[in-house]
């Protein structure tokens, strides 16, 4: 059974940094996608970053390009999201997702989800 556990969230001032981690169990990285999503109150869930684990290709939402970096540690089955230059609009619950499919140049159709970690950015 696949389980995803996020950690690393917290409160930070604008311009600060956080690193989120997603530890996967019951899961072996393969040629599929893992991603990070976020959802703020009253807003739709948004995919902010994804990695195609077979090749290490990465994808980013326009809103976070140049500020966020997704990476993987295959040996430890961990996905990271390094978040720099944080803005108040980055405030949201952040979720890890696994077993997405690369299609049409994007990662989609994720099968497994974590419970989320809160990120709050103050001005």
What is the structure's pLDDT at 30? 65
78, 23 contact by CB (below 8 A): yes
pLDDT top residue among 31 and 88: 88
Q: What is the pLDDT of residues 52-83, one digit of tens each?
A: 987 889 999 999 999 999 999 878 889 999 99
Q: Percent of the chain having pLDDT more than 90?
A: 76
- Work out the average pLDDT over 20-26: 92
- Work out the average pLDDT over 31-58: 92
Under 8 Å CB-to-CB from 93, ≥6 apart: which residues? 38, 39, 40, 116, 117, 118, 119
* Cβ neighbours, 10 Å, residue 63: 13
Q: What is the pLDDT of residues 93-115, one digit of tens each?
A: 999 999 999 888 889 999 999 99
Task: Kindly list the distances between the CA atom of residue 15 and the CA atoms of 7, 38, 103, in Å, as whole numbers in the listed order.
Answer: 20, 19, 34
Q: In this model, does residue 13 exceed pLDDT 90?
A: yes
What is the DSSP pairing of strand 10-13 with strand 18-25? unpaired
Mean pLDDT score of the chain = 93
């Amino acid at each position: 059974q696949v389980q995803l556990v996020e950690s690393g969230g917290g409160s930070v001032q604008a311009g600060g940094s956080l690193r989120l981690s997603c530890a996967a169990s019951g899961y072996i990285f393969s040629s599929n996608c893992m991603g990070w999503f976020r959802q703020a109150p009253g807003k739709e869930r948004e995919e902010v970053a994804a990695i195609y684990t077979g090749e290490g290709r990465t994808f980013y939402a326009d809103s976070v390009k140049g500020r966020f970096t997704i990476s993987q540690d295959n040996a430890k089955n961990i996905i990271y999201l390094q978040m720099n230059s944080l803005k108040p609009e980055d405030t949201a619950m952040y979720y890890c997702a696994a077993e997405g499919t690369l299609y049409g140049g994007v990662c989609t159709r994720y099968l497994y989800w974590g419970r989320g970690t809160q990120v709050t950015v103050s001005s």
